[in-house]
Structure 1
Amino acid sequence: MAGVVKKKTISSQVADILRQKILSGEYEANTAIRQEHIAAELGVSRIPVREALHQLYSEGFVELISHKGAVVSSVSLEEILELYELRARIETWLIALAIPRMTEADFAKAEAAAREFGSWGAEDDYSYEHNWNFHAALYAASGRKTTIEMVGKIHLQIERYERMMVSLTGLQAKSDREHWQLMEFCRRQDTDAAVALLEKHILDGGQILIERLKAIRDG
């Protein structure tokens, strides 16, 4: 990124830039991140870079290794599967809490996010941000802000691996159909059906990703 970032939010902006480089695959797993290089590139001192790296460490994007510095973290297939299983456990709990409390305003926000997600259409435009916005909108009525923030971090952590799924035929369309079906169950206050669909939606996505990553690993 050219130019100097604003002093007011310098460390968070540096963290955003580095996070995006990791999510996009520009910084692959086990890549060393040199503070002096980042500072020179962005026109900032090493202090906000160091603060940014500590933020990314707390989010699970980098490891801080003694005498080596920051290294982009790697996640095993077993750990990725565990993250999806954790999502399924937590998000089904959140939606079960949210359904009895949902208002028209909640549905309007979720529908807007669903339309944004579906409007991308092509597989190579798979929108992770709109996908999370949709899920977050559904869970908002639960009132569990801390838990929703935690789940949001899990979504971010696995996003760089999910990007490898974009070439799979029908993924966007399948997710879009399930989003609208999920909202219909929520409107009917059919909690059992919503929970069952959401669990399948999440675990199916995890299984597709694991299979894709195995294929890449095995050549």
Structure 2
Amino acid sequence: MNPLLKHRTLTAAILDQLRMAILDGTYPAGAQLRQDALAATFKVSRIPVREALFQLDAEGLVRFVPQKGAVVAQLSTAEIRDVFELRRLLEPRLLAGSIPALEADDFARLDALHAEMVTATAANDLGRWGQINADFHMALYARAELPRSLTIVHGLLQASDRYTRVHLSDVAGMGIVGMQRAVSEHAALADLARAGDVAAACGFLDTHILTVQQDLLRELERSQRKATP
């Protein structure tokens, strides 16, 4: 294997594992990610670890703090507003560009992803559910010839996943309600896209993203009030 390709593959593997560990709470908000310790854990040099941490910083999952280095980013109402407002700007535009070009294979993929989401919901598998959710959205936009916007939205969906997992992992039972609602809304989105109704699909998508944003803001603000003595 080309050494450069091997290095990039190693960095990507470490990036995937660190991202998953942050998303599932193994590394909670505020946790310090020491490069030497991670390099020892992965049995690699610090170089691919450092590159993976820089990528996580670009995704908003990690922040570099003076005297501490890489630290898992805190959950933030400001970031929820920023991420989801950007999604509301970009995703309807992508959907509008994609719907007229979607083909039978695209709808077959959407149907398969929806079936996987139903299964993940029934199993309360948050890790799998979050990935399917992102894959479903990206599949809806796949035919939009806007590669830069697609790249940005992919990153925004990854940022959204962390907040969504926190919301859906509550112990009051509202998480499963949220998952079930999302399953229903995704089916409606696919149906509108299949019917070629661009205006209705984009309006529905905007409402879908806004509803999730509002739910997350309420949940995070409620959690912050509980944590305040």
User: Cα deviations across residues 77-102 of structure 1 (Å, max 9, x unaligned)?
Assistant: 02212211111111111111111111
Q: Which amino acid in 2 is paired with 1:125?
A: D
Q: What is the alpha-carbon distance in structure 2 between the residues aligned to residue 68 and residue 177 of structure 1?
A: 44
| Residue 38 (structure 2) pairs with residue 33 (structure 1) | no
TM-aligned CA distance change 1:200 to 1:123, over 3 Å: farther
Question: How far has the Cα of 1:7 moved from its partner?
Answer: 6.0
2:17 maps to a residue whose letter is I
CA contact (8 A) 1:98 1:142 kept: yes
Cα displacement (A) at 1:147: 1.4
Amino acid at match of 1:36: D
Aligned residue number for residue 3 of structure 2: none
- Asked whether the equivalents of residues 7 and 48 of structure 2 are also in contact (C-alpha less than 8 Å), the reply is no
1-side partners of 2:9 and 2:220: how far apart? 36
In structure 2, the residue matched to 1:52 is 52
**TM score, norm. by length of structure 1:** 0.90
Root-mean-square deviation over aligned CA pairs: 1.8
Structure 1 residue runs of 5 or longer lacking an equivalent are 1-5
2:181 to 174, 188, 191: 174
Name structure 2 gaps, 5 residues minimum: 1-5
- Secondary structure of the corresponding residue to residue 70 of structure 1: strand
Aligned partners of 2:47, 2:29: CA distance in 1, in Å?
24
Q: Which moved more, 1:72-81 or 1:119-128?
A: 119-128
CA distance in 2, matches of 1:37, 1:89: 40
Task: Give the match for residue 162 of structure 1.
Answer: 164
Decide whether aligned partners of structure 1 residues 117 and 42 sit closer, same or farther in structure 2, where only a CA change above 3 A counts.
same
**Aligned-partner residue type, residue 93 of structure 1:** R
Task: Work out whether 1:125 is the aligned partner of 2:125.
Answer: yes
Aligned to 2:214: 207
Give the conservation status (yes or no) of the 8 Å contact 1:84–1:206: yes
Q: How many residues align?
A: 214
After TM superposition, the runs of 4+ consecutive aligned structure 1 residues lying more than 3 A away are none
From 186, 194, 200, the counterpart of 2:193: 186
Are the structure 2 counterparts of residues 205 and 57 from structure 1 closer, same or farther at C-alpha, using a change threshold of 3 Å?
same
User: SS at the partner of 1:64?
Assistant: strand
- Provide the C-alpha distance between the structure 2 equivalents of 1:75 and 1:100, rounded to a whole number of angstroms: 37
- Pair 1:141-2:173 in alignment: no
